[in-house]
Amino acid sequence: MNVVVIKEKLKEGLDSVSRSGGENKELPILKNILFEAKNNKIKLVSTNLEIAITAYIAGKVIEEGVTTIPLALFSGIVNGIQTERINLEVKNGVLDIKTDNYNAKLQCISSDEYPLIPKIKSKKNFISMSADNFKSSLEQVLSAAQVLENRPDLNSVLFTLENEFLVLTSTDSFRLAEKKIKEGDFKQEGMENITCLIPLKTAVEASKIFKEGEVNIYIEESQILLENEKVEIISRLLDNKFPDYKQLIPKKVDAEVVINKNDLLNALKLSSILSSRTNEINIEKEGDRAIKIFSNEESVGENVYTLSSKIKGSFEKISFNWKYLSDGVRAVKTEEVFIGINDESKPATIREPNEGSFVYILMPILKS
């Protein structure tokens, strides 16, 4: 194998595939990436046997071939190289990395031992949308997700196609986020209504990897393929049950509060400095035109932040974990954010002022 590549392109490809790398004691070859030059295309593949990422990069193929290269070392070298072009040549199981003023040799392992990447049976039916839309929708939903050791059943994003809506949902049991994408913002071809659970890690990586073009999504029993022109992610699907969450979303609210998003985020950040160990901050109504955000840590001090806002209806004091509240507020895309409050012990709703496509449900901190 002998190829010449542009350093930046190679680096970008390596960044994408490095996201699925994982250690496996039984199979040390998983620390390597598959490097293939064929038909004037260069393909990089990495996998941890749960998810596999394939990246295609442009380059000049002088001689076709395939091998596997230790990812960590290879990335380290490529990142450090200053010149624009890199020549890669494999001879007798040794990768020769050459630039104008640098030369390195790396031991490779034969690709015979590398796992075969599963394929989708048919690419006839699919969903597609722009990478921007895909990325921002996923990011919104991931605002309510965190890896929970004790609740593996929640470490996932629910993916539902129902009539003309594509719905993404995720929860960590303290909050829940739901994003509805309307047909038109996504296209679909021959798909039936579908419900599947994507592992959280896959969703997180997907939200970071796709940067441009259209993302096509193919779903088949037990696996999902996400791809654009440059990158493909294939991942297993989970088959446990997502909690039935629909009834959790409050149908009506007692009090509606509309606040400038950036002001609120600032206020939360500032008042959090004196919040208790449980990240608790309190919100209280101050007349009809303002809310008071306050927090105190006994033996340290206390603070109050007054914030003008439009309030309809009334509520008493309600307490939240400020981190969770900020996550939700940040995920709202409009300049102003709507907070619907029911009761100090019932979930609050955070969304755009005019019912948008995104809703974030947050449980207040309860006073027993």
Partner 1 sequence: MDLEKLWQSALGEMEVQLSRANFATWLKNSRIVDKRDGTLIISLPNNFAKEWVENKYNKNILGAVRNFDPSTKNLEFVVHSTAVLEPKTQKITTGDFQRFENKINLDFKIDPETNLNSRYTLKSFVVGSSNELAFAAANAIIDEIGTKYNPFFVYGGVGLGKTHLIQGIGNEVKARYGGKLRPRYVTSEKFTSDVIWGIKNKRMEDVKRRYRDCDLLIIDDIQFVGGKRATEEEFFYTFNALHELNKQIIISSDRPPQSLPTLEERLRSRFEAGLTADIGFPEYEMRVAIIKSKLLEQDRNLSEEVIDLIARKVKKNVREIEGVLNKILFYREAKRIDLNPKEVEEIIRKTVKDFSHRVSEDQIIKAVSDFYNISVEEMTGRVRKKEIVEPRQVAMFLIREILEMSYPHIGEKMGRDHTTAIHAVEKISREINQNSSLSQKMNLIKELVFKE
Q: Does 317 bind partner 1 (CB under 8 A)?
A: no
Q: How far apart are CA 143 and CA 212, in angstroms?
A: 22
Q: How many residues bind partner 1 (CB under 8 A)?
A: 51
Q: How far apart are CA 33 and CA 53, in angstroms?
A: 10
Q: How far apart are CA 121 and CA 85, in angstroms?
A: 38
Task: Show contacts with partner 1 in window 175-234 (CB under 8 A).
Answer: 176, 221-223, 234
* Strands across the sheet containing 301-308: 301-308, 290-297, 280-286, 318-321
Q: Which of 111, 113, 108, 115 is nearest to 52 (CA)?
A: 115
Residue 151 CB neighbour total at 10 angstroms: 12
Q: How far is the CB of 129 from partner 1 (least distance, A)?
A: 25
Interface with partner 1 (CB under 8 A), residue from 4, 62, 66, 117: 117
Torsion of CA 12, 13, 16, 18, to 10 degrees: -110
| Closer by beta carbon to partner 1, 76 or else 243 | 243
Q: How far is the CB of 334 from partner 1 (least distance, A)?
A: 27
Q: Does 143 bind partner 1 (CB under 8 A)?
A: no
Q: Does 239 bind partner 1 (CB under 8 A)?
A: yes
Interface with partner 1 (CB under 8 A), residue from 152, 287, 301, 313: 152
Distance of CA 157 to the CA centre of its chain: 10
Q: Does 111 bind partner 1 (CB under 8 A)?
A: no
Task: Show contacts with partner 1 in window 248-267 (CB under 8 A).
Answer: 248
Rg (CA), the chain: 25
Q: How far apart are CA 2 and CA 38, in angstroms?
A: 11
Q: Does 66 bind partner 1 (CB under 8 A)?
A: no
Interface with partner 1 (CB under 8 A), residue from 145, 238, 331, 337: 238
Sign of CA dihedral 38, 119, 233, 189: positive
Q: Does 344 bind partner 1 (CB under 8 A)?
A: no
Task: Show contacts with partner 1 in window 284-303 (CB under 8 A).
Answer: 296-299
Q: Does 122 bind partner 1 (CB under 8 A)?
A: no
Q: Which of 354, 343, 316 is nearest to 253 (CA)?
A: 343
Q: How far is the CB of 195 from partner 1 (least distance, A)?
A: 15
Interface with partner 1 (CB under 8 A), residue from 6, 12, 15, 27: 27
Interface with partner 1 (CB under 8 A), residue from 125, 130, 160, 173: 173
Place of tokens 């309809």: 312
Interface with partner 1 (CB under 8 A), residue from 21, 22, 115, 250: 115
Per-residue exposure over 104-142, b if at least 16 CB sit within 10 Å of its own CB, e if not: eebebbebeebeeeeebeeeeebbbbbbeebbbbbbbbb
Amino acid at 359: V
The site for partner 1 (CB under 8 A) is made up of 24, 26-28, 47, 49-50, 52, 115-119, 150-153, 155, 171, 173-174, 176, 221-223, 234, 236-240, 243-245, 247-248, 276-279, 296-299, 321, 347, 363, 365-368
